[in-house]
Structure 1
Amino acid sequence: MDILSLSRIDEELDSFEVAALCFLCQDVLNRKRLESVREGRELFLRLREKDLLKNSHFLSQLLITIHREDLLSYLETDSRQPEQESNPQTDASPALSQYRMLLYQVSEDVTQENLNKMKFLLSNKLAKGRLDLCTTALGVLAEMERQNCLSEQTLEVLEETLMECDAQLAMKIKQYRTGGFLSRETVPHINQRGNNPQTPVRPSVTVTQPSCEDGERLFTDSDPVFPSDSIGYYPMTHNPRGWCLIINNEHFETDELTNRPGTEKDKSAIESVFSRLGFKVKVFDNLTAAKMLKVVEDLGKMNHFDADALVVCVLSHGEIGCVFGVDGGKVTVRSLTFPFTSGECRSLAGKPKLFFIQACQGSGYQRGMSPAVSPEQTEGRGTFESDAGPVQSIPSDADFLIGMATVEECKSFRNTKEGSIYIQELCRQLERAGTRENILTVLTCVNSEVSKGEYLYHKQMPEPKYTLTKKLVLPFI
């Protein structure tokens, strides 16, 4: 492989990704030599010295494993994969070991809460000073190996520790020990002429089990059989996590659209919770339709390689398929999300992009009855208004989530003093459970709480729509 391609890949890797690559290379490079590696080019030099970069096959495996498929375009190789030998770990075509991939996959699925539990449970087995320096699950696993507490033949301590934190992860270790680990390894074809990756081959699944006649598979009666959890988690390793953009339209310039008192409460709540979640928050107030488009287009052109995710919140009026600028101009949801698709913003490819939109999806009301309320009961508490407008178009691109305040053809509600029903509940649920629960679980709780209320004699039902490909947990920094 040429130095220029390796240099370009090195420029795109952050310190966490370099550490992950070093961990994955511990079976082919001396651990002592890897301890001093801090940058990708240092690792590549060591791999070249061992003749492990004769072709791009091994490096492709590494990049795919750490979910940096976007860097494969820098590689040039024959469209044919190296022939499979009886022993895949050859000098001509080195392969990542199943053991190393198992540990990496486990590390991806360890939440911050479970990482803290692991360190506590291992404190009587590992040197505490060294353990305190570990800030990631991968670091803990590497430290276990360094102190001879973990190896391909000795997985019991790791399995016992994970059993106290996450039974499914512990089951992965047990499946590996009994020969039933499911590999997610894959190597896509690379187009040599165009230097662009072809459609990636989906991960192949290989199962290693004791051989049986007639294709039978062996399981023990004492153990439940779980399907392999190949979903995994989106990595949340950067500080800051990325950008949180808030477009807050309150004062409208057209008589057809009323002002939106109470929206400043939503803006403050969003700014507070996503700042605590580690995002850089940028607020734009009272934008016209053209300026709304300009803001998202400019954000899409930025470099997001050092980000884990993107959050965009739009607080405005709207109608089916669009939101309104303060000038009454319409902005479709598709035009809001398009600048961040993988084709337009490669630095966000494979990363979650969250859109939360406080707006109606039509002019209708959801049926529901509530007791009559006297004027005295509402005095000083604000009144409920509807945000007439919405968002319907859902992009087919992967890794998007669009949280809608209400279902299609119905209005959403905002309290003129306390803020909108949906955004306020969303922020409450993120505060309560966002650091340990999958985002879809959080949004289900939002649905449940909002659906219990009655507003202007009517109901409201939020609706998340998503194309996420992994679980997403947003830990506080």
Structure 2
Amino acid sequence: MLSNYRVMLYTIYDETTKDKLEDMKFLLSDKIGRRQTDDCNTVLDVFVELEKVGLLSQSNLHELHSILEVVDLQLASTVQQYMTTGTLPQPARRPPPRPIMDLRHVNNSHHLSTSETPPTLEGGQFSLDARTNTPPTSLSDQIEYYPLNHIPCGLCVIINNEEFLGTQLKKRSGTREDEEALESLFSRFGFSVIVHSNLTAEEIREKLRIIASRNFSEEDALVVCVLSHGEHGCVYGTDEEKVSLRELTQPFTSGFAPTLAGKPKLFFIQACQGGGYQTGTLPSPPKPREGEYRRSHLEADAGPIHAETVPSDADFLLGMATVPECKSFRNKHTGSIYIQELCRQLRRSAESSREEDILSILTRVNREVSKGEYLNYKQMPEPKYTLTKTLILKFVDEDQVQRP
């Protein structure tokens, strides 16, 4: 038996014409990616892509509802009724006419022929819609997951730059709290954790080259966390020299690290990406929030203000503390806003009975960080990814994980 949720999705699939499918793909191209939408041949394919990026689930139908409000109000009402009551409209109550979908057999394969308007009854040639005898494969069966089967399941590298040798970049007080939070969390996820403190730009490059040369055949994933000052497209070594984001990720592309091919590579960057401030618009005067950060304890991880892109190779995720051209904030006593919220949400998900993917977690991190106000400004994290499967992180028995 299929749940009402799956039945609702298949109802939308049955009643979506080709033109409406194209409208949906156009509206979603900026949310799930142009390449992904181009590869969608049916509405079921669209649903799978939405589930991959955390925009569709049994408890999250808002994105689907808003799209259908533009494409087909009748289908939007179906979603709305399910969201409200958990049930589906009775077919007899659906007002005629509706689009007709004929299923024909051509060269032993099924082809769907759709029409925006119902056919006429001339010549008594009206016929009922045909359906296949075999129910469609469950959407959950179509989702592929990254396996995390080894113990340890992967390597987590933390590069923490606190002290700087020159005069332009200040000491990053509070960054040790970020280091401790990340080390504790990823150890519980089953990763071996390596910490490098206060590296120059060339030392960062060299450490990553050495790590990339190791054999990852018995490991399932890589995590690299860089905590430093930065600006657009780069982070700083302790010698105040730049290391581009591309230099951080390129050693781990499949051409340089073949044993990491097809495995998730997660990069979390706590650093400013420019000298600008993120502003926000409030409907009413701001009020103190619970847990508001004291002004005197906040500072920015920025460098001298002066761009580079991230490799588009598969299976990468880049979690940035802030959008380009803007600053990120760090509390000098409790750690950075982004890393602390990231660890909090990852921990919350790992302790939950639900299996929540990494993209859904990062969306929640975006929401929670963007709610705050820091030195009278806002902060907006930005995840970028080329993941090809769903990644779920859960805690493992800590006794099984050993430090390399």
TM class, shorter-length:
0.5 to 0.7
Looking at structure 2, the residues matched to 237 and 337 of structure 1 have their Cα atoms a distance apart, in angstroms, of 24
CA offsets per residue over residues 289-311 of structure 1, 9 Å max, x none? 11111110000001110001000
Q: 1:313 aligns with which of 225, 228, 241?
A: 225
Which residue identity does 2:252 align to in structure 1?
A: F
Aligned residue for 2:144? 232
Q: 1:458 aligns with which of 360, 377, 389?
A: 377
Looking at structure 2, the residues matched to 434 and 359 of structure 1 have their Cα atoms a distance apart, in angstroms, of 26
Return closer, same or farther for 1:383/1:303 CA change in 2, 3 Å cut-off.
Answer: same
Question: SS of 1:261's equivalent?
Answer: coil
Return closer, same or farther for 1:347/1:225 CA change in 2, 3 Å cut-off.
Answer: closer
CA offsets per residue over residues 1-46 of structure 1, 9 Å max, x none? xxxxxxxxxxxxxxxxxxxxxxxxxxxxxxxxxxxxxxxxxxxxxx
Aligned: 1:387 with 2:306: no
What aligned pairs does 1:47-446 form with structure 2 within 5 A after superposition? 212=105, 215-216=110-111, 219=131, 230-368=142-280, 371=286, 383-388=297-302, 393-434=309-350, 436-446=355-365
2:293·2:331 contact (CA, 8 Å) conserved in 1? Answer: no
Shift of 1:409: 0.6
Shift of 1:396: 1.4
1:265·1:418 contact (CA, 8 Å) conserved in 2? Answer: yes
1:382·1:418 contact (CA, 8 Å) conserved in 2? Answer: no
TM-score (norm 1): 0.52
1:382·1:417 contact (CA, 8 Å) conserved in 2? Answer: no
Q: 1:474 aligns with which of 385, 393, 404?
A: 393
Looking at structure 1, the residues matched to 199 and 272 of structure 2 have their Cα atoms a distance apart, in angstroms, of 18
Return closer, same or farther for 1:284/1:216 CA change in 2, 3 Å cut-off.
Answer: closer
Looking at structure 1, the residues matched to 373 and 237 of structure 2 have their Cα atoms a distance apart, in angstroms, of 28
1:361·1:407 contact (CA, 8 Å) conserved in 2? Answer: yes
Give the number of the structure whose residues are more often strand, by fraction.
2
Looking at structure 2, the residues matched to 473 and 440 of structure 1 have their Cα atoms a distance apart, in angstroms, of 9
Looking at structure 2, the residues matched to 255 and 297 of structure 1 have their Cα atoms a distance apart, in angstroms, of 28
Which residue identity does 2:277 align to in structure 1?
A: Y
Shift of 1:212: 3.5
TM-score (norm 2): 0.61
Aligned residue for 2:62? none
CA offsets per residue over residues 45-84 of structure 1, 9 Å max, x none? xxxxxxxxxxxxxxxxxxxxxxxxxxxxxxxxxxxxxxxx
CA offsets per residue over residues 270-323 of structure 1, 9 Å max, x none? 001000000000101111111111110000001110001000000000111110
Return closer, same or farther for 1:378/1:476 CA change in 2, 3 Å cut-off.
Answer: closer
Aligned-pair identity in percent equals 57
CA offsets per residue over residues 220-275 of structure 1, 9 Å max, x none? 69968866864400111011011100000001111100010000100000001000
Looking at structure 1, the residues matched to 140 and 393 of structure 2 have their Cα atoms a distance apart, in angstroms, of 24
2:313·2:386 contact (CA, 8 Å) conserved in 1? Answer: yes
Looking at structure 2, the residues matched to 424 and 339 of structure 1 have their Cα atoms a distance apart, in angstroms, of 27
Question: SS of 2:389's equivalent?
Answer: coil
Question: SS of 1:362's equivalent?
Answer: coil
Question: SS of 1:219's equivalent?
Answer: coil
CA offsets per residue over residues 131-164 of structure 1, 9 Å max, x none? xxxxxxxxxxxxxxxxxxxxxxxxxxxxxxxxxx
Return closer, same or farther for 1:266/1:230 CA change in 2, 3 Å cut-off.
Answer: same
2:235·2:244 contact (CA, 8 Å) conserved in 1? Answer: yes
2:372·2:379 contact (CA, 8 Å) conserved in 1? Answer: yes
Return closer, same or farther for 1:316/1:378 CA change in 2, 3 Å cut-off.
Answer: closer
Shift of 1:393: 2.0
Question: SS of 1:312's equivalent?
Answer: strand
Looking at structure 1, the residues matched to 296 and 218 of structure 2 have their Cα atoms a distance apart, in angstroms, of 42
CA offsets per residue over residues 175-218 of structure 1, 9 Å max, x none? xxxxxxxxxxxxxxxxxxxxxxxxxxxxxxxxxxx994684566
2:232·2:324 contact (CA, 8 Å) conserved in 1? Answer: yes
Which residue identity does 1:360 align to in structure 2?
A: C
Question: SS of 1:280's equivalent?
Answer: strand
Query: Relative contact order (C-alpha < 8 Å, sep 6+): which is higher?
Result: 2
Looking at structure 2, the residues matched to 227 and 276 of structure 1 have their Cα atoms a distance apart, in angstroms, of 30
Return closer, same or farther for 1:226/1:298 CA change in 2, 3 Å cut-off.
Answer: same
Looking at structure 2, the residues matched to 454 and 310 of structure 1 have their Cα atoms a distance apart, in angstroms, of 32
Aligned residue for 1:55? none
2:159·2:196 contact (CA, 8 Å) conserved in 1? Answer: yes
1:361·1:392 contact (CA, 8 Å) conserved in 2? Answer: no
2:293·2:374 contact (CA, 8 Å) conserved in 1? Answer: no
Question: SS of 2:223's equivalent?
Answer: strand
1:400·1:468 contact (CA, 8 Å) conserved in 2? Answer: yes
Shift of 1:360: 1.0
Greater mean alpha carbon deviation, residues 325-334 or residues 230-239:
230-239
Looking at structure 1, the residues matched to 188 and 293 of structure 2 have their Cα atoms a distance apart, in angstroms, of 33
Shift of 1:394: 1.3
Structure 1 spans left out of the alignment, 5+ residues: 1-108, 110-209
Which residue identity does 2:383 align to in structure 1?
A: P
